[in-house]
Amino acid sequence: MNELEALLARIPYLAPHGLQAAWAADGSVTVHQPFRPALANYVGIVHAGAIYTLAETAAGIVANELVTHLGGFILLSGASVRYTRRVEGDADAIARVDAAQAAAARACFEAEARAGITIEVVVTTPDGETAFTGSFDYALRRRKP
């Protein structure tokens, strides 16, 4: 089990989703959600909530990476999402943060023990079509001793 799989395994809510995650060389993360009937809605396509979970998980991984080694944790504080096409099978979420924004948020966190960051996510279908775009806002906070 790699580090990302271990992180996902610590979140019981995610178990039914069967998510698989991997870092890319450019600092983005891709989270894969294999299709399973339990994730479908009443017409047999992937439920909007499952797509949201996929996207927010990818965003959360990127946000968490900014502060976890500094004794921090993340809290989702807001999101703006758009569903642009139905998902009928597997899906991938790619999350990334601008390097300058990440550096600024990390510096603020180190100085003030709190910061905020927005992570952008795109969910695609196996044929490469965009099915969802979202911006996830996180509060970055220091763990209390």
For the domain that residue 43 is a member of, what is the CATH number?
A: 3.10.129.10
Q: Across the chain, which distance is largest between two alpha carbons, in Å?
A: 50
Residue 16 has pLDDT above 90, yes or no: no
Residue 4 has pLDDT above 90, yes or no: no
pLDDT-derived band at 25, boundaries 50, 70, 90:
confident
* Residue-level pLDDT at 22: 92
Q: Which three-class secondary structure state does DSSP give residue 98?
A: coil
Which amino acid appears at position 67 of this protein? Answer: V
Distance from CA of residue 26 to its chain's centroid?
16
Give the chain's domain count: 1
Distance from CA of residue 123 to its chain's centroid?
10
Residue 90 has pLDDT above 90, yes or no: yes
pLDDT, one tens digit per residue, over 57-87 is 999 999 999 999 999 999 999 999 999 999 9
* Residue-level pLDDT at 3: 83
Domain interval for residue 52 = 3-142
| Residue partners of 76: CB distance under 8 A and separation at least 6 | 56, 60, 136, 137, 138
8 Å CB contact between 134 and 120: yes
| Residue partners of 49: CB distance under 8 A and separation at least 6 | none
Short-list 14, 13, 44, 11, CA closest to 32: 14
DSSP class of 4? H
Residue 1 has pLDDT above 80, yes or no: no
How many other C-beta atoms lie within 10 A of the C-beta of residue 59?
29
